[in-house]
A and B are shown apart, each in its own frame.
Chain A
Amino acid sequence: DAGVTQSPTHLIKTRGQQVTLRCSPKSGHDTVSWYQQALGQGPQFIFQYYEEEERQRGNFPDRFSGHQFPNYSSELNVNALLLGDSALYLCASSLEGRGNYEQYFGPGTRLTVT
């Protein structure tokens, strides 16, 4: 049973560029949450997708957007990259349609903005 997978594992971008990160949830899971983890800090909630819609959003600017596909996979897009966007981006999946709300995390994508 494959767990949560994320791609790419590492990414280097330049300020002002745009980036897309991808996440495939654990088999059978229907909800995807994205977190940003700066060095030395705990993960911070960005947003959550369920039934292809953004259901909840943390304190992140509109430069951060996402999408969920019919197969429950998800993308995180960040526009106009800033140096401060350098972080580990974590995807977590859960199954909320059946009362199981534990979140399973992927290994993350390490984004470096130069």
Chain B
Amino acid sequence: DAKTTQPPSMDCAEGRAANLPCNHSTISGNEYVYWYRQIHSQGPQYIIHGLKNNETNEMASLIITEDRKSSTLILPHATLRDTAVYYCIVRLSPYSTGTASKLTFGTGTRLQVTL
């Protein structure tokens, strides 16, 4: 799995957009970008994933650069409940079997949302 690099921490004011960057310069053509978050004392929670097109769901948007070497997770209107550690993970297709399904976590970005 390709290695990812994320800033260790970020702050965001409540109600503003939180933009969390991730570098994955060694990503392969068949690898997806996944985002999970972990709220204190809970298990990680899936947020979104994408291959090369921008993706949006009810939780967030994922913007992947054209060369796929970096991406940004956007929380459009951050709330205090979005305070968590956010993990950017690169892995093979979600439709692969066996060894492709493990997740390799880094240390993530600790997002602090403040009033």
Binding site for B on A (CB under 8 A): 4, 31, 33, 35, 40-45, 48, 50, 55-56, 58, 90, 92, 94, 96, 99-108
Contact = CB atoms under 8 A, between A and B. Distances in A.
A58 B105 CA distance: 12
Contacts of A33: 101-103
B111 to A, nearest CB: 15
A56 B102 contact: yes
Q: Main secondary structure on chain A at its contact with chain B?
A: strand
A102 B94 contact: yes
**Which residue among A58, A92, A107 has the maximum number of chain B CB atoms within 10 Å of its CB?**
A92
Given A42-B106, A42-B107, A92-B43, A56 B96 contact: no
A38 to B, nearest CB: 11
B51 to A, nearest CB: 14
Q: Which of the listed residues B97, B100, B107 has the most CB atoms from chain A within 10 Å of its own CB?
A: B97
Interface of B: 41-46, 85, 87, 94-108
Contacts of A103: 46, 101, 103
A11 to B, nearest CB: 15
Given A4-B43, A104-B46, A108-B43, A96 B101 contact: yes
A103 B57 CA distance: 17
B30 to A, nearest CB: 14
7 contacts: A44-B105, A56-B98, A56-B101, A101-B96, A103-B103, A105-B43, A107-B43
